[in-house]
Structure 1
Amino acid sequence: PWCIAALSNISSLIMTSLKDLNWAGFYLVRNGVLTVGPFQGKPACIHIQPGKGVCGTALQKDETMLVPDVHEFPGHIACDSASNSEIVVPIHSNGRVVAVLDIDSPLLDRFSEADKAGLEQLVKLLEEKAEWGL
């Protein structure tokens, strides 16, 4: 599927399937900067620079960031002040990061290693099946 259609449905699926979330969606890399894509939740920050906040750090380091308490994460960007924990998974196409999956929760320590493994598997499917064309 075209990536925007897939990302739209996946953000909805995550929001309706997992408990205790307040935001689930994607940021797409455009001109080296993360730009908000399909999501479920309150309005989000439109642009995030590499290395800034949890999403920008995941982009810069090219690794999943599992943050039990966002208030203790240096440079955390509070798009929604109700968020207390976060997980961000980079998404690749043609050997480069093209997007990140970002999920926030109002609970502290909401995300487990099992969540991380499951979300990384979901992202792997997206990497293989979605038509990125970005």
Structure 2
Amino acid sequence: MFTKIEYQGSLEEQYNALSKQLSALLEGEEDFIANLSNASALLNQFLKDINWVGFYIMKNGELVLGPFQGLPACVRIPVGRGVCGTAAEKGETVVVDDVHQFPGHIACDARSNSEIVIPLIKNGEIIGVLDIDSPIKNRFTAEDKKGLEKFVQTLIHYI
């Protein structure tokens, strides 16, 4: 069994180290699914207090389940629906402190209480989203948002 990766320093320094590790992991690999798979696995090992992390990929105008770590999930999400669809529609990160207060929240795992979704934008186009759920309310801070957005920018470079 794997244990969570322990990084040293401030949360910002930890996210910087995580992005560097992602870059090293993806260097030379061009396969989209392989890179998303390794990115979700890396985040699953790094992040504490989460119960789902993965990607939804934009296909034919809707989000379709991609590589992830966690329980089985909803397969298709319309743009504009739920937290993932809202992030895709707005083209910006959405942080929800209490998913039970989010209108239209799609509950794939009843244990989830907070969520962060970061859109994957390449050449001005939404190609998917990174979705992370936590069983803890108010789990995702402004530092998490900034660090995860940097992580996504690193990932976009390789896809």
Q: What's the TM-score bracket when you normalise by the shorter of the two chains? A: over 0.9
2:148 is aligned to 119
Matched residues in 1 for 2:147 and 2:139: separation? Answer: 14
What is the number of equivalent residue pairs in this alignment?
Answer: 130
Do the aligned residues in 1 keep the contact of 2:39 with 2:155 (CA within 8 Å)?
Answer: no
Q: Distance in 2 between matches of 1:44 and 1:61?
A: 22
Question: Any gaps of 5 or more consecutive residues in structure 2?
Answer: 1-29
> Is 1:23 equivalent to 2:48 in the alignment?
no
Which of 60, 82, 89 is matched with 1:53 structurally? 82
Q: Please state which structure has a larger fraction of its residues in helix.
A: 2
Partner of 1:94: 123
Shift of 1:94: 2.2
User: 2:41 is matched with which residue?
Assistant: 12
User: 2:52 matched to 1:34?
Assistant: no
- Note the C-alpha offset of 1:92: 1.2
Identical counterparts, % of pairs: 57
Q: Given the two structures, how large is their TM-score scaled by the length of structure 2?
A: 0.80
- Say which structure is richer in strand: 1
Root-mean-square deviation (CA, aligned residues, Å) is: 0.7
Paired amino acid for 2:128: A
Q: Distance in 2 between matches of 1:95 and 1:126?
A: 15
TM-score scaled by structure 1? Answer: 0.95
- Structure 1 residues not aligned, in runs of 5+: none
